[in-house]
Structure 1
Amino acid sequence: MSLTTPLGSGPALRTCHLPPDGLYEGPRELRRLAPGQPDRPYTLFDLVPLGPVIGAEIGGVDLTRPLTPAVHAELDRALLEWKVLFFRGCHPSSAEQRAFARNWGELETNPLLAAGDDPEVARFDRSSTPGFENVWHTDVTFRERPALGAVLHLREVPPHGGDTMWADMAAAYDNLPRQVRARLEGALAVHDFVPGFARFTPAERLVPFQDRFPPVEHPVVRTHPVTGRRTLFVNTSFTTRIVGWDQEDSDRMLRLLFQQAHVPEYQVRFTWRAGDVAFWDNRATQHYAVNDYAPHRRVAERVAVAGDRPH
């Protein structure tokens, strides 16, 4: 990018150069809803927004009890509109956490993660081992059908730190330069579990899963199956290259796209208390677990809802 003063407009401003493919200051389009979608109130619970496009705290819903069809429908709309919902002080059991998640579909497990008391619940016990989720990522995009969403329960929190952040990847797509969006139209990218796990898992443990989880291709920009929003769908953990592109061009474009989750205007940051629950739309977001609480303990349990094949 070069910055100059137009000819004939007064003293010339010196020419300067900025590295290409960066993030620059200026206005950003922050659109929470799909075009034409009305902004309707919620009538069956309290909803407090935590940002302009992503993240809302829900009050008046007991996750330890079955949801009525009406409450489920309104929560589903809130999830689609706010992308991640927070419930304070719920303290659900593993069975109650699974039952809540099943309102959105069948559950899936990830054999690469440690299980809790129930095999359908993944446990992240960061006491003797450090956290490795401190990179922007979307869960299990190395599957043919990545998860629809996930329900995370913090059972034990450190005295400080340990926040989680989420980014709205529809907002990230909306604000890409027009020429970048045009170039990505129809592009596919390869997703592989190996780079996301090899940094902290012994190779001999990963080798048996290579045939079960071969590399898959997904659209670089997916269309949300319910809202129709165009959503940037590549991430640092699992996306390795853009199909059919020269490796250098692919690497350069992916670096640019990975940066988009780092824009604060697209983010929400949540400070946990023991018993809190977060439920996010994995089709529309990336998340980042802040690893700043060592040597204290942080214990989280996650249930994932099976998803569809991105298109």
Structure 2
Amino acid sequence: VNITEVVAVRAPDSGLPLERRPRTDFPTYIGPATHLAEERARLSALTWEHFDARMMGATIGAELSGIDLTGDLPPSAVDEIASAVADYKVVFFRGQAFTPAQHVAFARNFGELEVHPFIPSNTEEPELVRFEKDADTTGYENQWHHDVTWRECPSKATILRAIQVPDVGGDTLFADMYAAYEVLHADVKAEIDDLEAIHDWAQAFGRRGTLDPARMAEMRERYPEATHPAVCTHELTGRPYLYLNRTFINRFVGQTRPESVDRLDRICRMTDTPEYQCRFHWEPDSVAFWDNRAVQHLACSDYWPETRVMERASIVGERPRR
């Protein structure tokens, strides 16, 4: 059911003002998410040789058990984990007591690792980004986003490990961007399929006064704005997915930032649908491995003043394509 139609029909009876919004307002939906059924059935039928899988969401998320990631894995296990990430979009492991070197070694099974130029790394392994939040250093990651979309070639996947977590709070949510795109009406798809967005690291890293002007100019030269399609085709699955986020996008090509903000907000609302999401509660030595192209994530900032320490390895990807 189109929520616009519900508003138009029910508003007179409710005493509220009648409101009709054009289809381009990217309405959300109520009622059964029937478009998820085929993918849910496909995922439910999957079987694996090297681990067991328990699905967590209708089309996204599975907890994998019965495998130790800290040692050397046979190529068949590496390939199967990669397949599971492509299928479930994000997979989770418990009880993986990585050393930093083991974390990096595991991640390198899946490709070249990036070094983040703005976020401090683990001193032992420069490829590991360390997120350490406490009463004095609070979290700002509680907004839906893909990682590092400001790069010309953003990371294709992320492997995040929990080192210290609060007893309550600090969960991470993940959203399926295939499903978010699939639910859109054909005329809405036609409106956004050819859009391109300009991504800028300064949207996140240049607004908090963390860089002096000289450093800002240096980083601007090294990392200019990147332009990516609003709707991309996944290089492995061939499926289209939404590739937009409020964290790093400055504007759409051919539009000013004020003109872009409203449209960006309306499209990004598709991430808010619980039917496209899963939620993971961390324990020490938990690991999440997700596809950074087809998945957005959000880290809940609900644990202050407790401490939350995480380390992340990111795998270099290709330039997103329409």
Tell me the TM-score normalised to structure 2 length.
0.88
Gaps of 5+ in 2: none
Q: Is the partner of 1:78 in helix, strand or coil?
A: helix
Aligned partner of 1:276: which letter?
Answer: S
CA RMSD of aligned residues (A): 2.4
Distance 1:55 1:26 in 2: 22
Matches within 5 A, 1:68-217: 68-117=74-123, 118-127=125-134, 128-204=136-212, 205-217=215-227
Matches within 5 A, 1:36-55: 39-55=45-61
- Match status 1:233 vs 2:243: yes
- Match status 1:276 vs 2:286: yes
Per-residue Cα deviation, 1:256-291 (whole angstroms, up to 9, x for no partner): 111111111111110000111111100111110100
Distance 1:94 1:50 in 2: 28
TM superposition shift of 1:37: 9.8
TM superposition shift of 1:244: 2.1
Partner of 1:27: 32
Q: Is the partner of 1:125 in helix, strand or coil?
A: strand
Aligned partner of 1:255: which letter?
Answer: D
Partner of 2:69: 63
Distance 1:86 1:299 in 2: 17
TM superposition shift of 1:225: 0.2
Per-residue Cα deviation, 1:60-95 (whole angstroms, up to 9, x for no partner): 111101111111111111100101110001111111
Counterpart of 2:299 (choices 289, 298, 304) is 289
- Is residue 32–residue 54 contact of structure 1 (8 Å, CA) maintained in 2? no
Q: Is the partner of 2:28 in helix, strand or coil?
A: coil
Distance 1:222 1:251 in 2: 20
Q: Is the partner of 2:223 in helix, strand or coil?
A: coil
Distance 1:108 1:190 in 2: 21
Partner of 1:309: 319
Per-residue Cα deviation, 1:197-228 (whole angstroms, up to 9, x for no partner): 23434241544311111011101001000001
Q: Is the partner of 2:306 in helix, strand or coil?
A: coil
Distance 1:296 1:84 in 2: 26
Q: Select between 127-136 and 249-258 the one with higher mean Cα deviation.
A: 249-258
Aligned partner of 1:17: which letter?
Answer: E
Aligned partner of 1:304: which letter?
Answer: S
Aligned partner of 1:84: which letter?
Answer: V
Runs of 4 or more consecutive aligned structure 1 residues displaced over 6 Å after TM superposition: 12-15
**Count of paired positions:** 305
Distance 2:204 2:249 in 1: 9
% identity of equivalent residues: 40
Cα 1:143–1:298 shift into 2, 3 Å: same
Q: Is the partner of 2:260 in helix, strand or coil?
A: helix
Aligned partner of 1:26: which letter?
Answer: G
Distance 1:13 1:90 in 2: 54
Per-residue Cα deviation, 1:119-154 (whole angstroms, up to 9, x for no partner): 111100112300111110100000000001111111
Aligned partner of 2:239: which letter?
Answer: R
Q: Select between 93-102 and 40-49 the one with higher mean Cα deviation.
A: 40-49
Tell me the TM-score normalised to structure 1 length.
0.91
Distance 1:200 1:272 in 2: 28
Distance 1:190 1:258 in 2: 15
